[in-house]
Chains A and B, each alone.
Chain A
Amino acid sequence: MRTIFAMTGLVMLAAASAAQAASTQADFDAAMAAATAADKEAAMLKNRWTPTEQALAAAKKAAAAGDFDTAVKDAQHAEALAKASIAQAKEQDTAWKAAVIH
C-alpha cells in the first residue's frame, strides 16, 4: 500500500519536472523506448494497468502530430505508471498471503 503512494508521488514529480526545453523526436524516441520496456516487463508479470496503455497511446498520437513536448510528457507518465504496476506485482507476490482468511 505504501509503495503505491510512493509511486504515485514519483509519478507526479516526474510529470512536474518534465517541463524543460522543447523536446525533439530523439527525446521522444528515448522516452518511448523506456516506457515500452517498462510496459513489457509489466506484461511479463501479467500486471499492466489500463492508464499505462492510455498514456502510451496518447504519447504516440502526440508524436505523430509533431507535439514532442506532450509526447515526451505522456511517455514519461506511461513509464512511471508501468513502473508502479511492476512494483505492485512484486510487492503483492508475497503480500497476498497476509490477506488470506485464516
Chain B
Amino acid sequence: MANSIRVRAVASGDHTEVQALVQHPMDSGFVKDAQGNLIPPHHIEVVDFQHAGKTVFTALWGPAVAKDPYIKFSFKGGQKGDDIAVSWVDNKGESDSLTAKIM
C-alpha cells in the first residue's frame, strides 16, 4: 500500500518551509451515506513533524478538517540533507509515518 503522506521540505536561509499532503477520509461523523446512515467518525487526531529529534510542528485535528488535508508551515532551523519525520494517528488508532530529506 502506498504511503499516505507526501512531504516536501525546502531549506531557505535560516528556516525550512514544509508542505505535506496526507491522504485520509477525515470523516467527521456528521455525514450520512446514501442509505441515510451516519458514516462513523474516522479522522486524524494528531500530526507530528520532527526535526533533529525535536517536534517542530504538531497539529491536533478533529471533525472540522476536510478530506486529504494539506499543511504548509515553516520552522526555524533545518538544513539541506537533514531528516524530517512526519507521523499521524487517527481516532481509530491507525497511523502512518514518513521520513524525508530537506531539500
The answer to whether A and B touch in the complex, with CB atoms under 8 Å apart, is: no
